[in-house]
Amino acid sequence: MPTIKLRPPLAGLLCLLGVMLSTTTALALPSDQQAAITVDADRAQINEKTGVTEYQGSVVIKQGTLLIEAAQVTIYSTDGQANKIICIGKPAHYQQQPNVEDGLVNAYADTIEYYLDKEVITLIKNARLEQQGSTLKGDHINYDLKAELVEARGSDNNQQRVHMVIPASETSTNEQKDGD
């Protein structure tokens, strides 16, 4: 049976992408880690010397519930380990289901920075975070996945303030109906 050998740059790219996405899916559904990774873009450039991989033009990356959509995605790695992912778009979009009990988390911003070693996602300019009907908007949102801490702030010129929408819970809605 013939074997297929990948050229070194392609093999490096696939390895890097696999490491990058398996790290992001460590905080997601187990089935995400077993799903195939697909990448669609107009252009891809891999620089193995610098450890920088760049996708440009309507970039779409999928693996299970993970979805990244952006005009440009740049992956920075050291010693074959991805350590930073930058997504740029109008807006860039990151989506993933963290666990079976919770719905999809959707993050939007002009720039999404994901620091894998720190497990921090930073949304910059026109930032929006959505999950299960709740919405958080601001100029800048910092989400520390390890500490489970979200910080949001408005713009420096006060043009955009932090805005949050928390839907009424079913319990309080039912209590209101029973009390009427």
> Please, which pLDDT band fits residue 23 given cuts at 50, 70 and 90?
very low
pLDDT band at 116 (very low <50, low <70, confident <90, very high): confident
Which structural domains are found in the chain, ordered by start? 8-179 (2.60.450.10)
| Average pLDDT for the chain | 80
The pair of three-digit structure tokens given for residue 179, joined into one six-digit string: 């009390």
Strands 105-115 and 38-40: unpaired
pLDDT digits (tens, 9 = 90+) for 36-46: 888 999 999 99
What percentage of the chain has pLDDT greater than the value 70?
A: 77
Q: What are phi and psi of 166, to 5 degrees?
A: -120, 115
Least confident of 9-13, 17-21, 94-98, 122-126: 9-13
Bridge partners (DSSP) of residue 130 are 106, 135
Q: Is the Cβ–Cβ distance between 154 and 161 less than 8 Å?
A: yes
**Contact present, 167 and 133 (Cβ < 8 Å):** yes
pTM of structure: 0.76
What span, in angstroms and rounded, lies between the C-alpha atoms of 173 and 161? 29
pLDDT score of 19: 44
Comparing 1-10, 79-88, 107-116, the range with the smallest average pLDDT is: 1-10
The residue-averaged pLDDT of 135-162 equals 89
Q: Is the pLDDT of residue 127 over 90?
A: yes
